[in-house]
Amino acid sequence: MITFHILTLFPEMFTSPFSQGVLGRAKDRGIVKLSFYNIRDYAQGRHKSVDDYPYGGGNGMLMMYEPISLALGAVESATGTGVADHVILLSPQGKLLTQAITQNLASSEHIVLISGRYEGVDNRVTEHLVSSEISIGDYVVSGGELPAMVLIDAVSRCVSGVLGSDKSASNDSHSQGLLEYPQYTRPSTIDGHSVPEVLLSGNHAEIEQWRLGQALKRTRDVRPDLLPDA
């Protein structure tokens, strides 16, 4: 089982995405577990403030160090295992999430995900509390909740038993460094468009060769940057 400990100001955002589909079934079967920690619950003072103005001036507000630190302490107390395998801050400044990273994370028992908000977090969180920063792309969204959902889904797919067949994830785009080959289903002809003949031949060696060729072509046409590492 893999457990994701999610530190967020909006835990209710995660309810619907993980109550159905592949992840919903994985939760029901006890393969994936989600634990939520509302960062505001660990804020100090009468107003339970979780953000403040940045030193030196600038636009917006920053999430404060202390509530995040206290929430991490609650995670450690709850698990009884001390520091988690990975403490990840979802951040536009982070390392780009890749299939290789998700496959590596899938072997973890406990992963902590910190969902930032506002203009970001006090940099001492990055310097002293997290093991890595991860970004889901070269763009900015309003908070770390959506990136956390993407990471949870991508990592969970690599956990044994989550998908109907463990081989399914190994054929996904990026699993072997290439984009996935085209796929078709019945009927074999519709609106004048036919399935490639090789897929109807029953010759599995030729089908595999065709699929590899198509994966290479698609990668070359759409993501040529992937080819040197494929």
Residue-level length of the chain: 230
What does the DSSP assignment read for 5-35?
A: EEEES-GGGGTTTTSSHHHHHHHHTTSEEEE
- Report the C-alpha gap between 203 and 226 in whole angstroms: 29
**For tokens 């995405």, what's the residue?**
17
- Report the C-alpha gap between 18 and 9 in whole angstroms: 17
Which residue among the candidates 119, 133, 153, 180 is catalytic per the annotation?
119
Which residue among the candidates 67, 117, 147, 157 is catalytic per the annotation?
157
C-alpha distances (whole Å) from 185 to each of 99, 163, 188, 195, 199 are 26, 20, 7, 8, 10
Q: Is position 29 annotated as part of the catalytic site?
A: no
- Report the C-alpha gap between 136 and 153 in whole angstroms: 12
Q: Is position 117 annotated as part of the catalytic site?
A: no
Which residue among the candidates 41, 92, 133, 211 is catalytic per the annotation?
92
Which residue among the candidates 172, 180, 220, 223 is catalytic per the annotation?
172
Q: Is position 157 annotated as part of the catalytic site?
A: yes
C-alpha distances (whole Å) from 108 to each of 23, 128, 170, 225 are 17, 21, 18, 29
Q: Is position 92 annotated as part of the catalytic site?
A: yes
- Report the C-alpha gap between 9 and 17 in whole angstroms: 17
Catalytic residues, which ones?
92, 119, 157, 172
